[in-house]
Structure 1
Amino acid sequence: MPRQNEDKGEPANSDTHWLNRERLSVYPRIILVLFLLYSLAWVLTSKNMLDLNGKPLGADFIMFWAASHLALTGHAQDAYHISLLFKAQQIAIPASKSVYAWFYPPSFYLVILPLALLPYTAAFWAFMLSTLGAYLLVLRRIIRGDIAMWCLAAFSGLWVTLMHGQNSFLTAALAGAALLNVERRPVLAGIFIGLLAIKPHLAILFPLVLIAIGAWRTFISAAVTAITFTAIGTAVLGYGVLKSSLESLGYARLCLENGSLPWVKTPSVFAFARMLEMPVAWAYFIHFICAVGAVIIVWRVWRRCHDRNLRGAVFMTATFLVSPYLFDYDLVWLAFPIAWLALDGLRNGWLRGEREVLVVAWLLPMVMVPIAVVLNVQIGPFVLCALLWIAARRATAASMMGDPVSDSTDKFETVP
């Protein structure tokens, strides 16, 4: 039976909402066409592999290729020196004047190591299509159906990640796969979590939730995998790489604090506070308060709620409220909580405003930066808090009703 009260929500099969089946069939296709046209114009107006803003096509991917080139030539440690990394980037795109920094641990080096064996463009497509394939494969465990696939194809986070040439498809796939397997295949889930050591700040909540449900096999598997993965990277590339990666964290922190890593692209509470010109200490304090609140919510949900979908939605959303170091392309993770919450809404009915929040979250990776540039306000934390509130409220209702554990592989189309 639906959990929502009749006077507060709509039943699962209601078609009276403005976001009905017909509109949800049409709107994503329109947005997808706009993305395709924008991408085509972006490429056609480029010159010497640089876009109109002078940035390399594939943007951040150029540092992956450059770091791979340095490692293959026996100079992996040089990637942590901006001037040396810049010279390697110019091998890929000689006209590029953009400067990128490398903060990644030795474990991620193992992932990108073969890239420079290919020309830049071929390496870009090999990396992006393979990680996108993994991302879609995991999401197919959650949602199926034509309308759901159109919504996913037009998801702004997917296109932002693709245009940035970033690794967020891979991190989202690892986190999603871990959440889907944590109860049925605990050791495998731990391996996925351990591999997420390529971006450890995105795995920060996993120890908490594993302790909350007593998933000790997963916890041990994750720890062993992370340590082994890092040790192999260090053995292959040298101890200097591990040392330099640890030293680079302080520089990354300073870049975040002074805005060298742009706050308009950072959907964290810390970035919101800094854009309001708050001192660094106050920005950290406000972020800390919000992070503690998110941690408490995650702990309570994972302790009391047995619905895997709602647990996963709370976890992935809260991750972005805990770490101050994130970017717009990392929001490709939001496809998972949006899908899980849509499934729960279809199954149990909707409360007022919930679908609007899901739509805003779906658009957030695309609209966040322009809004921040124009209004000087970072809206990311507000959208993420609203999404977390929806997920936590549904999880609380599920735990009070004693709902059975949901199956993440249910085949529902995400339409009202």
Structure 2
Amino acid sequence: MDDTERATGRLPSPIIWVVGSVLIAALFFADYRALHDGIIGKSEIWGRDFANVWTGGKLALSGQLDRLYDLDRYRAFESALYGHRGVHNYSYPPFALFLNVPFALLPYGVALALWLAGTGYLFVRAARPWLSGRASWLLLVTPAAMMNIWAGHYGFLIGALFLAGWHWLPNRPRLAGVAFGLMALKPHVAILIPVILLLRSEWRTIAVAALTVGLLVLVSALAFGPDLWLQYLTVTSGVQARMIDPGKEFYGLMSTSLASGLLRQHVPAAIAYGAQGLAMAGVAVAVTIATVRGAPPKTLALLAATGTFVMLPYAFNYDLTVVALAALVTYGRADAAPLERAVALVAFLSPQWGMLLSATGMPLTPVALIALFWVQARPLVSRGRDVPAGAGAMRSA
């Protein structure tokens, strides 16, 4: 493995890590000050979006899944559970309930602790091929990871599946397919994976990933009814699409989307979505060139991680766990120029500092991600013809 795939051991100084978590420390403190009987203020429960994991499981256990994708009835059920009127919505496919139910069997506080500890452990294990030794545990306290902990979200789990799939791809392509298939929990985060696999002719991995998704859909339809899938595909997709334009809602500060950042600053929608479209096209071209010119899987993994969040018009900073790793690897490259290290540091800090700057009128996070992607992609797309071209030379054994 070369330095483009693994950090050389050079990490940002401790002060960078401290500065990177100033905002999350303030948010945790504010939540603690407002905490009463597990409720933050009058609208949130400690662990925030983990409430969806627990609520979904409770609905399944109580046989009330007709409420799952009905926004008003879902929130009414949540209110009865937690003693407050929640503002959540269940945005995950029906097969996520298989994951939710075991946590719903536990008391909420125990379930939350186990969720964060278990998914955090999986993420660290999956990241070790890129950042080995004790340093890998630092991935639990990157600015992105701390946002995921505060939000109680899927960032560690999805990041673990993403990294495990790329690590297994060369020698265990079927197992890689299972990992990639399980990412259908949040399918938009896997948007670049099938593109790269097709370009590399990774047919076994593609087949197993498709089979994994198909089985998840089939088993969940048999267990919970096909109507639940129809509701997910029609109702939930509309709710999520409307969140691209956040207005002045707090969650808009957490968006990684260029379109959302521009819309928040009252840029006309045609310009905002046009800029997002250009970013998507640029990422697609760069990833295609890097793939056909022979970039190895572990390099493509980090490139795809950053490129995914440049492309997506709907995404949030608690899912940037792998992008934080990409920033650290970029910073730690032996041949990294000072400007490249500066770009990596800004991207590393952006999950939290981007929220503050977005509130003042500057969408830092999408700009930082675009810059990091360019730093990662530039040496891959500018290589000479000595790199083997074509997918056939890169097919897994």
Aligned pair 1:110/2:95, yes or no? no
* 2: CA distance, partners of 1:99 / 1:306: 43
The 5 Å alignment of 1:75-86 reads 75-86=64-75
Confirm or deny: 8 A CA contact 2:331 2:340 kept in the other structure: no
* 2: CA distance, partners of 1:49 / 1:395: 49
**Aligned partner of 1:386 among 367, 371, 377:** 371
**Structure 1 SS opposite 2:129:** coil
**Structure 2 SS opposite 1:101:** coil
Residue matched to 2:339: 353
* 2: CA distance, partners of 1:352 / 1:40: 35
Residue matched to 2:142: 155
* 2: CA distance, partners of 1:366 / 1:401: 41
**Structure 1 SS opposite 2:375:** helix
* 2: CA distance, partners of 1:325 / 1:33: 25
* 1: CA distance, partners of 2:23 / 2:365: 23
Residue matched to 1:377: 362
**Aligned partner of 1:270 among 221, 242, 259:** 259
**Aligned partner of 1:61 among 50, 58, 62:** 50
After superposition, the C-alpha distances for 1:257-296 in whole angstroms (9 at most, x for unaligned) are 3646843221112112212323434432321121011111
Aligned AA (1:231):
L
Q: Name the CA shift for 1:265/1:204 in 2 (closer, same or farther; >3 Å).
A: same
Aligned AA (2:91):
F
Residue matched to 1:143: 131
- TM-score with structure 1 setting the length: 0.83
Shift of 1:27: 4.5
Q: Name the CA shift for 1:63/1:83 in 2 (closer, same or farther; >3 Å).
A: same
**Structure 2 SS opposite 1:114:** helix
Shift of 1:26: 5.5
- TM-score with structure 2 setting the length: 0.87
Residue matched to 1:300: 289
CA RMSD of aligned residues (A): 2.9
Question: In terms of mean alpha carbon deviation, does 159-168 or 97-106 score higher?
Answer: 97-106
* 2: CA distance, partners of 1:3 / 1:38: 36
Confirm or deny: 8 A CA contact 1:364 1:380 kept in the other structure: yes
Residue matched to 1:188: 175
Shift of 1:34: 9.0
Shift of 1:49: 1.4
Question: In terms of mean alpha carbon deviation, does 107-116 or 186-195 score higher?
Answer: 107-116
Confirm or deny: 8 A CA contact 2:286 2:381 kept in the other structure: no
**Aligned partner of 2:215 among 228, 239, 243:** 228
Q: Name the CA shift for 1:200/1:32 in 2 (closer, same or farther; >3 Å).
A: closer
Shift of 1:41: 6.8
Shift of 1:313: 1.8
**Structure 2 SS opposite 1:277:** coil
Aligned AA (2:265):
L
* 2: CA distance, partners of 1:386 / 1:27: 19
**Aligned partner of 1:47 among 9, 33, 36:** 36
Question: In terms of mean alpha carbon deviation, does 44-53 or 303-312 score higher?
Answer: 44-53
* 1: CA distance, partners of 2:64 / 2:314: 27
Query: What number of residue pairs does the alignment pair up?
Result: 383
**Structure 2 SS opposite 1:171:** helix
The 5 Å alignment of 1:229-244 reads 229-244=216-231
Shift of 1:118: 1.3
**Structure 2 SS opposite 1:113:** helix
* 2: CA distance, partners of 1:145 / 1:223: 34
Confirm or deny: 8 A CA contact 1:307 1:395 kept in the other structure: no
After superposition, the C-alpha distances for 1:230-278 in whole angstroms (9 at most, x for unaligned) are 2111211111210110112123212333646843221112112212323
Question: In terms of mean alpha carbon deviation, does 59-68 or 159-168 score higher?
Answer: 59-68
**Structure 2 SS opposite 1:196:** helix
Confirm or deny: 8 A CA contact 1:193 1:222 kept in the other structure: yes
Identical counterparts, % of pairs: 25
Q: Name the CA shift for 1:136/1:82 in 2 (closer, same or farther; >3 Å).
A: same
Residue matched to 1:395: 380
Confirm or deny: 8 A CA contact 1:335 1:362 kept in the other structure: yes
Structure 2 gap ranges (5+) = 389-397
* 1: CA distance, partners of 2:113 / 2:81: 14
Residue matched to 1:179: 166
Shift of 1:37: 8.5
Confirm or deny: 8 A CA contact 2:24 2:352 kept in the other structure: no
Structure 1 gap ranges (5+) = 5-11, 404-416
